[in-house]
A and B are shown apart, each in its own frame.
Chain A
Amino acid sequence: MNGCNRPIWGGTLMLLEVKGIHTMIGRFHILQGVSFGVPRGEVTVLLGRNGAGKTTTIRSIMGLSPVVRGEVRFEGEQIQSLPTHVIARKGIGYVPEDMGIFGDLTVEENLKVAMGRDDPAVSDRLAWILELFPDLKVYWRRKGGQLSGGQKQMLSIARAFIQNRSLLLIDEPSKGLAPIMVDKMVEGIRQIKERTTILLVEQNFSMAQAVGDRFVILDGGRCVHTGPMDALKEEKELQRRYLGIA
């Protein structure tokens, strides 16, 4: 029993339910019936080797890669056929693998795109974010394209979280970062976790362990194992087979 197909549907604690989704990219059948749930208030980490379908899964949740079959439910409502901007407005923030920085816009302008009209709650959240990532305040007028990789990642997370989001999808936040920046990112995600639910794609297993409450392992476009992160720490065979950890 790998836990992927447990009857989680309709469960009161699940914020996001992914049920048997299939996604094609061109001619390629990337997701072949992925199912898992994301409990409210926790960090769920999507793990798996390159090409397992992790990025496609969160792009499918976000409506960026169309789901051809299956269901995605967010707070009980089906969202798999909604346009991306509507999905975002329902309360899902997205930090893509390439960070999606507007390179010719300043840090301030990058955040303003996401902030919308004047709203005291957004201003409060901005103040909190600038405390969490002080580099953004230092480089407030610098163009996004001129930031370091770590600063871009901070900006991307800040931008996704500046509106009130009940779920954040974050794709490989540690990718290409120096170890000191990874530590900052771990701390940042721990703080954000206090305020929202997170679905994280991560190849760096030590980061996944440091922030994750639950794990979902994908392989060949399917969910093959899921459970509490503490249990995976003991499962050396799973780590070796699906994550390539010797």
Chain B
Amino acid sequence: MDIAINLIINGLATGMLLFLLAAGLTLIFGLMHVLNFAHGGLFVWGAYAGVWFYLWTGSFLAGLLGACSAGLLLGLIMERLIIQPVYGDSTRQILITLGVMLVLSEMVKVVWGPNQISVPTLNLLEGSWRIGEIVLIKYRIFVIAAGALVFALLQWLLKKTRVGLIIRAGVIHREMVESLGINVKRYFLLVFVLGAVLAALAGMLFAPYSGVIYAEMGMEYAILAFIVVVVGGLGSVSGSAMAAVMVGLSSAFMNYFLPDAALAVNMLLMAAVLLFKPSGLFGARG
């Protein structure tokens, strides 16, 4: 029983990190119809920039702010210089964003070296709470809480503000939003930068969770994030949250009981959704 509860907590923590990565990805695809394969690169850069600030200042908060700033800056540059010229051309988008993913991963090695970097957990969140036989690792509970907070903030943005209303409408029928006199391209930049910041934040939160960061982790987690986006339904933030929890739990349990098949099971889940419900389990309706 205690193993199951620990696995559930691990799964929820992984799920929340995946949600942060997938939320931006799903909105970017839903509104802009851009499959951003460079999203994993933003995750890596968030982790490295955040950890650099964290180790330099000794403040985890400074690390989080550093990661978000890196995401903001990279998001702005990418949308304006790289994504905007290839709107509406999916083949070029895939090739160019894959290329950017590789460049971002390699640039990390140029700036911070090729070796992985160890990341300590901040003192306040080190250790665990014990309830009977159940051990609750503090940092994992923190990650779950942070993910839930971001989810709540995103829900507020999307459901309670005019900007959110237009983003939701644009995901369903972009042409119609333009026909109502709204410049949708202004919202493209906002959504892309928001997605980049969330990916970078996920990278920073991941660093103490894993204890180590490395350049290739972007691709590994981007694959899981794509699975989450497809299972949750392209364009649906709530769907991504639910799918992220499913994929996180599945990864936690499979990694414990049958580690070699962990990724394969999630891939099969994605294939089944694509075959039987291509709009995703929780996709937005047109």
A residues sitting closer than 8 Å to B (CB atoms) are: 62, 64, 83-85, 88-89, 94, 96, 100-105, 109-110, 112-114, 116, 143, 145, 159-160, 163
Contacts and interface: CB of A to CB of B under 8 A. Distances in A.
B172 A64 contact: no
Given A105-B168, A113-B166, A145-B285, A100 B179 contact: yes
Interface in B100-147: none
Contacts of B183: 83, 85
Nearest to B186: A85
Contacts, number: 70
Nearest to B184: A85
B175 interface: yes
B172 to A, nearest CB: 5
Contact of A105 (B169, B182, B184): B169
A100 B181 contact: no
Interface residues on B, range: 20 to 34
B180 A102 contact: no
Contacts of B166: 113
B153 interface: no
Contacts of B179: 62, 64, 84-85, 88, 94, 96, 100, 160
Contacts of A109: 165, 168-169
Nearest to B183: A85
Q: 7 nearest interchain CB pairs?
A: A100-B176, A88-B181, A103-B285, A84-B178, A94-B179, A89-B181, A114-B180
Contacts of A163: 180-181
B203 to A, nearest CB: 31
Given A100-B176, A103-B172, A85 B181 contact: yes
B180 A159 contact: yes
24 contacts: A84-B179, A85-B178, A85-B181, A85-B182, A96-B175, A96-B179, A100-B175, A100-B176, A101-B173, A102-B173, A103-B172, A105-B168, A105-B169, A105-B172, A109-B165, A109-B169, A110-B169, A112-B165, A113-B166, A113-B180, A113-B182, A114-B180, A143-B285, A159-B180
Contacts of B285: 103-104, 143, 145
Nearest to A169: B179
Contacts of B177: 113
B172 A102 contact: yes
B176 A105 contact: no
A150 B241 CA distance: 35
Contacts of B178: 64, 83-85, 88
A64 B180 contact: no
B175 A104 contact: no
B184 A104 contact: no
A217 B172 CA distance: 33
B153 to A, nearest CB: 20
A159 B176 CA distance: 10
Given A104-B284, A113-B169, A114-B180, 12 more contacts: A64-B175, A64-B179, A84-B178, A84-B179, A88-B179, A100-B175, A100-B176, A103-B284, A109-B165, A109-B168, A110-B169, A112-B165
Contacts of B175: 64, 84, 96, 100
